[in-house]
Structures are given as structure tokens and as C-alpha cells.
Structure 1
Amino acid sequence: MIKRRLEAKIQEALKRSPSVALMGPRQVGKTTIALNISETTPSVYLDMESSLDLQKVRDIVSFHDANQNKLIILDEVQRLPEVFSPLRGIIDKERRKGNKTGQFLFLGSASIDLLKQSSESLAGRIAYLELFGVNLLEYTKDANTLWLRGGFPESLLAATGKDSLEWRRDFIKTYLERDIPQLGPRIPAETLERFWTMLAHHQGTVLNAASLARNLDVSGMTIGRYLDLMNDLLLVRRLKPWTYNVGKRLVRSPKIYVRDSGITHALLNIADHNQLLGHPVVGGSWEGFVIENILSVAPAGVQPFYYGTPGGAEIDLVLEFSGSAKWAIEIKRSSTPSVNKGFHIACDEIKPERRYVVYSGTDQFSLGSGVDAISLFDLMQEVLKQ
């Protein structure tokens, strides 16, 4: 089993907040972390996909009264959004009794923004955390295996490459045929699979909704609805453009990434590392893999963007820290990195405090003009220091 770095942060959050929401896609390891915590903390665990457990918390006030002084863990909480309304009263009552922390742990398979809409009544009473896939600081054995198989623990730790690929194919099928319909949208599984696969083919490119709409024979508005759904399920990332006024014409459409590299490869039937290196998606796949790893360790409040102009000035990833400090990060799969003119022009325009090129080697060295070549592992360590 891989020790997840976020587990310690969840325990810290439970010590300072009455409730904590841990969000992440299915099968990423949320339940495992929660059960680990329950081994050292008096707890009761309920799964909202179990009809019996669901019935138990229909009256959450009575259930809480029957489980005083226990951490109540509610899994797949997005299936019961109405549970949040009475929780404010419960938490405030416990606060008056001196019990100010560690009352509820919510696990959900939807985005933090989506959950916040349901839990507005808990403002000031809930902390939000997101569990990404396993990252390079947690799995240091082989970056190429992590890149190929992705960050879902069952896929990453499968006995063989074939077993890993089959797990990911089953994961995709289950999401399409069971999980998404449970959330309400009535979208044919075949249509959504085609859409998901098209996004994988265009990994790391600027969204062209009109082209996707033509290929699927749907409207641009429908493409937007599909994209919202995949984003809310934490399966796709929309990387927004950095559009602050710099007196330039800027690209204003988001870049789209299938968030897990292993799912990207399964959608494209890429079975091994050699096939990946020979596939047209290799650059976009590596770029998405690097971005997800960096963001998995970014401090709270960091905003990710990309920067691009019609003239070719471009930065793959702009990290904006609190206080408006910016880092410019170019991503190269090559073991001999170089920086193109467009990156220098873009940096001159946005004036970042640090400039990096992430590459596949292990050494850190200067490329001139204030730009450092750095490995993904070392850059993640630098981000952690912020």
C-alpha cells in the first residue's frame, strides 16, 4: 500500500475544524485514508451508496445523538446533499459544549466547487481538501510506470501491465454505465465515451468546442454541458488562460486535459511505454502528467493558468501564489531541454519571479536568462517549500 501524503493533512484539519470534506474521483484512495483514520479515532463509517446506511442518516440529528463523541464519516456524500442543512445546528450545539473539532469527515467524488454549493450553510465550519492520484513524491520507484499507468492505486500497483490496463478499462466502463447515470444526466454511454476519447486525443490543446460539436453531431452548448460534467467528476481539467491586462491579444479558451495519464492511455489503447513514446499524444500526455503532479503538492490558494498569444508567446503552466508571485513553467519530455523564443517573450510580458523548464532528466542547471532546467521531482519539492 502507498502511504498518501494528504492523510496527515486531513488529520491536522480534523484537529482544527469541526468538519472536513475530502474530494477526489472514485477509486483514488479516499475510503482507504478514512478507514486508516478510523483505526486511531473513535469513528463510525457510512457509505451513502448503501441503502441501509443512507436510511440511517436521513435523520442526521438523531444519528449524531446516538454517536456522541465519534467522528462520523460519510462516504459519497454528494448523493445526499440535503444532509448539510441540519449540520450547522449540530456543529454549533457541539461547539457550545466545548467540542469544536473533528465531528464529521465527508468523502465525495465531485469537485470542491460543486460540493460547496451544497454545503454553503457550513461556511466557517468546514475545511476542503482534494485527493489527487498517487504522485511522484509518493511513488518514487519509476516515473515512467507512474506516467504510463496513472495515479489510481489499483492501476499503479497491478501485478502486470495487462492487469493495469484492464483495470483502467473497467474503470472507464463503470463510470460510463453506472456512476454518471447515478448522478442524473441521461447521456448515452457510447456518446460520452466518444467525447472522453476525443479529449484524450486532444490532450493539452486549447478547447475547440465547435470542432468537438461537429465530430459528435451535437451543439456547442451540449459540448459545454459534457465538459462541465467531466470537470465536476474530477476526470478532466480545464486549465484557464492567464488573461490579466498586459496590453496584448491573448488566447482566452481553456486548455483541456484528461487528468489521469493512465486513463488517457487506456482511452487511446496505449498498452506499454514503447507504444506511448511512438504515439502523437506523447507530448500532451507528459504535459498533463507533470501539471497534475505539480498541482497535487501546490499550497492552498495557488491558482494555475497557461499563457498564450496568437503570435506564439506561450507558457505551459503559470502558478500564481498568494501575494501575486508567479512562476513560469515550460514542460519538455526531452532529456536535453531547450527554451524557445515564445517562452522568453511570454516571460517578458508577465514577469514571473521564477522560470523553470521541467524535463525528463535528474540534474538541475541554468539555461540562461534566469531559466533553470529541473526534474519534476525536484520542482515538486520546490513547490512544497512555498
Structure 2
Amino acid sequence: MIRREAEQIIRSLLRGFPIVTVTGPRQSGKTTLAKAVFADKPYASLEDPDVRLFAREDTRAFLERFPDGAVLDEVQRCPEIFSYLQSIVDADGRMGLYVLTGSQHFGLLSGITQSLAGRTAFVELLPFSLEELSKAGKQPLNLEEMLFKGGYPPLYDREVAVRAWFNAYVTAYLERDVRQVSNVQDLEAFHRFVRLCAGRCGQLLNLSSLADDCGISRNTAKGWISVLETSYVLFQLRPHFANFNKRLVKTPKLYFYDVGLAAWLLGIEAPHQLETHPLRGNLFETFVVAELMKSFLNRGERPQLSFWRDSNGVEVDVLIERAGRIMPLEIKSGRTVTREFFSSIDKWSALAGHTAVDPTLVYGGADSYRMKGRRVVSWRKIGPDLLGIPAP
């Protein structure tokens, strides 16, 4: 089993909370991690119809089977359980009783916010990070393979073709989540919408254009974006608020949590296609931003990420806020560093003054070094060390 970086923070949180809730996409390894953390406790999956029926019809009796706690998987399938858990942990008083897992972010959080506020900590588990793959000796050999394959655990612990796995994943999980979260009637239009989103990854989100291209209303497009966010398929990166007396773009940018899924949705059939694909730069940016998210989440921190773009088109791909300072980060998929790569971060750093720290370029090459006060970082070195995030 590939060791997950989030394991340490979960064990730490269990010393101070009676419950830890692990959320994230389906097939991101939540169950495997929860079982590893609670290896000596019983496990029950509420995806199992018989278990779910028992839990719904006699919740108290169901939970009495676990006097010393348990791993309860996919708890969003039985929201009735939350209020009973509240009574149990309040009466018991012990820490580290339960690990809950769930895949649908909004539905799960709404239930927990009402019943378990203050009683549970949250950890978001995304697919494997580059750091986790590297430590396990599983890092793809080159950038194109990384962008093609992504980080979903089943692609690294079993013999399965990448495209076949993503095809099954979308059919088995995404469609089911869509039906559970939202009353989507036209699945064909929804699939077309998801593919159009993949074609816009790393770009400003234009809901009207997206809706027109898909043949749906703007409100439907907005609702479907929410469904995809709920299911941990994609996320929006917000623009930074500091304007330095300049007019700023206020529209968010769209990214996928897993670059391999985005590549599959674009119809990419082999890694070598990514060498010259017109969206190579967008996919590389998606990969880097998702890795930055993982670096924070795997250590129990909220990602403080944004981007900056003024009305003249000057853009810094990512601004990373830590301890009152901001690191500007530029993302370029090219293997050769050119002077133009630094143009935007240099302009932003001049505007930001003392607030700016460690201007950084992440690129598609192999070497990492410093160049005139700026850091140049290979894609292979993306991780918490890049951001100065301490181990949990």
C-alpha cells in the first residue's frame, strides 16, 4: 500500500476529536486510509444496501454494535446517523471513536454541520500526490505519462488500462453521484458538459459561453458546475482581491482535481499525444494547481490559493498566501526556461513590494535552481517543501 501523507494528520486529530471525517472523490483511497488508521476497529459500509437499511430502520441498535467506535464508510448515504452519533460521543467522552468517510461534499457537510459541529475534524483526501508516488517509487517516468495517468490509486495498485478505468469510473460513480445530488434528466447533455469543462480547464469560467456550447441554460450550467464541485471532480480558483489601483478580472478559473480524468475527457488516448496537444499547457497548469491543493490538504491546512489578472491581460497563475506574505508562482509546460517566463511574476512582485516572497517558476523541465532571485522548480519537485509547509 502506498503510504498517504494525510495519515499523520488524521492520527493527530483523533487525539483531540471524537470523530474525524474524511471526504474526497470516489476511489481516492478514503476507505483504505481509514482502515489503516483504525486497523483494530470494526468497519461498516453504508453503500451496502443491507447495512444501510439496518442503519436507517434502527440507528440506535446499529451503532450499539460499535461500543468502542468504528469506521463508517460513505455516511452521506444515511444522514440519520449524525444526530445519534452526537448523543453517543457526548455521553462517552472519549476521543478517537469514529472515522467517517464520504464522497459528496455538500450533502455530507450540511448533515454534519447540523449535528456534529465541534465534534468532528475534517480531512479532504484527493488522489495520490506526486510526493506520495515519488516516495513509493511509483512516479511516472515523464511528464506526459503523469498528465495522462493522473493520481487515482487504482491506476497504481492494479493492472488496468488507463482509459478503460476512467471510462468505468465515469459510468459507475460520476453518473450515480449526479443522480443522487441533482435531478439531471439528460445524461448525454451532462456528459457533453463535463467534456466541455475539461476543454476549459485552466481558463476563466464563462458560464454563458459554456451553456451556449452545450445547448443548455446558464442556470443549468451553474447548477451542473455545483454538482461537479460536490462530487470532487472540479474546483474554482478565485481571483486575488488586491488590485494595486488596477482593474482586475473577477471571474474564477476552472480546474480539475485530477489531470488524468481531464485528459481522458478530452479524448487523449496515449501519453505521446500530450507532447504537442493544444491544451498541453492547460493540463500542466491543472496538474500543478491540484498538486498545490494536495500539499495543503494532506497536512490539514486550508489552501490559500488564488490568481491575479488585470484588465491588460497580465496574469500570475497562482498566488500562495502564508503568514501574511504572498508567493507568486508562474506555470509553464515548456522544458526550456526563457526570459519571458518571468515577465508576469516580475511585474506583480514590483507592484506587491515587501508582501511578495520567493517568486517561483514551475516548468516542464528536469532541473531546479535559482536565477536572479527567482526559484526555478522542476515539475518533479512540486510538493510541500516548495511551499515551506511543515510536516504535521
TM-score by length of structure 2 reads 0.89
Q: Identity of paired residues, percent? A: 29
Counterpart of 2:311 in 1: which secondary structure?
coil
Q: Distance in 1 between matches of 2:312 and 2:188?
A: 38
Q: Which residue does the alignment assign to 1:201?
A: 199
Counterpart AA for 2:359: R
Q: Which residue does the alignment assign to 1:375?
A: 378
Residues 276 and 379 of structure 1: CA distance in aligned 2, closer, same or farther (over 3 Å): closer
Counterpart AA for 1:208: N
Counterpart AA for 1:133: P
Contact 1:337-1:357 within 8 A present in 2 as well: no
Q: Distance in 1 between matches of 2:133 and 2:37?
A: 21
Asked if 1:115 is matched to 2:124, the reply is no
Counterpart AA for 1:355: P
Comparing 275-284 with 137-146, greater Cα deviation is found at 137-146
Matched residue count? 374
Q: Which residue does the alignment assign to 1:308?
A: 309
Contact 1:21-1:129 within 8 A present in 2 as well: yes
Contact 2:329-2:345 within 8 A present in 1 as well: no
Q: Deviations over 1:309-347 (max 9, x none)?
A: 1212211111122x3321111111122223243332223
The runs of 5 or more residues in structure 2 that have no matched partner are none
Q: Distance in 1 between matches of 2:359 and 2:200?
A: 26
CA RMSD of aligned residues (A): 2.0
Shift of 1:139: 1.1
Shift of 1:253: 0.8
Q: Distance in 2 between matches of 1:82 and 1:240?
A: 34
Contact 1:155-1:165 within 8 A present in 2 as well: no
Residues 340 and 114 of structure 1: CA distance in aligned 2, closer, same or farther (over 3 Å): farther
The answer to which structure, 1 or 2, has the higher relative contact order (CA under 8 A, 6+ apart) is: 2
Q: Distance in 2 between matches of 1:247 and 1:86?
A: 53
Q: Name segments (4+ residues, structure 1) moved above 4 Å.
A: none
Q: Distance in 2 between matches of 1:186 and 1:302?
A: 31
Asked if 1:342 is matched to 2:349, the reply is no
Q: Distance in 1 between matches of 2:185 and 2:247?
A: 37
Shift of 1:279: 1.2
Contact 1:150-1:156 within 8 A present in 2 as well: no
Shift of 1:165: 1.2
The runs of 5 or more residues in structure 1 that have no matched partner are none
Q: Which residue does the alignment assign to 1:239?
A: 237
Please list, as runs of the form range in 1=range in 2, the aligned pairs for 1:16-27 lying within 5 A after superposition. 16-27=16-27
Shift of 1:177: 3.6
Counterpart of 2:27 in 1: which secondary structure?
coil
Q: Which residue does the alignment assign to 1:57?
A: 55
Q: Which residue does the alignment assign to 1:363?
A: 367
Shift of 1:362: 3.5
Counterpart AA for 1:132: L
Q: Distance in 2 between matches of 1:46 and 1:25?
A: 19
Q: Distance in 2 between matches of 1:128 and 1:57?
A: 23
43, 46, 56: which is aligned to 1:45? 43
Asked if 1:292 is matched to 2:285, the reply is no
Q: Which residue does the alignment assign to 1:72?
A: 70
Q: Deviations over 1:283-331 (max 9, x none)?
A: 000111111112101251331111111212211111122x332111111
Shift of 1:260: 0.9
Q: Distance in 2 between matches of 1:170 and 1:65?
A: 37
Counterpart of 1:53 in 2: which secondary structure?
helix
Comparing 293-302 with 231-240, greater Cα deviation is found at 293-302
Residues 288 and 186 of structure 1: CA distance in aligned 2, closer, same or farther (over 3 Å): same
Contact 2:291-2:382 within 8 A present in 1 as well: no
Please list, as runs of the form range in 1=range in 2, the aligned pairs for 1:323-342 lying within 5 A after superposition. 323-338=323-338, 339-342=341-344
Counterpart AA for 2:239: P
Residues 149 and 76 of structure 1: CA distance in aligned 2, closer, same or farther (over 3 Å): same
Q: Distance in 1 between matches of 2:156 and 2:263?
A: 13
TM-score by length of structure 1 reads 0.91
Shift of 1:49: 1.6
Contact 2:35-2:71 within 8 A present in 1 as well: no
Please list, as runs of the form range in 1=range in 2, the aligned pairs for 1:174-193 lying within 5 A after superposition. 174-193=172-191
Q: Deviations over 1:58-106 (max 9, x none)?
A: 343333333212x3222111122232123222111011xxx2x111111
Q: Distance in 1 between matches of 2:156 and 2:33?
A: 17
Contact 1:240-1:254 within 8 A present in 2 as well: yes
Counterpart AA for 2:304: Q
103, 126, 140: which is aligned to 2:97? 103
Contact 2:59-2:80 within 8 A present in 1 as well: no
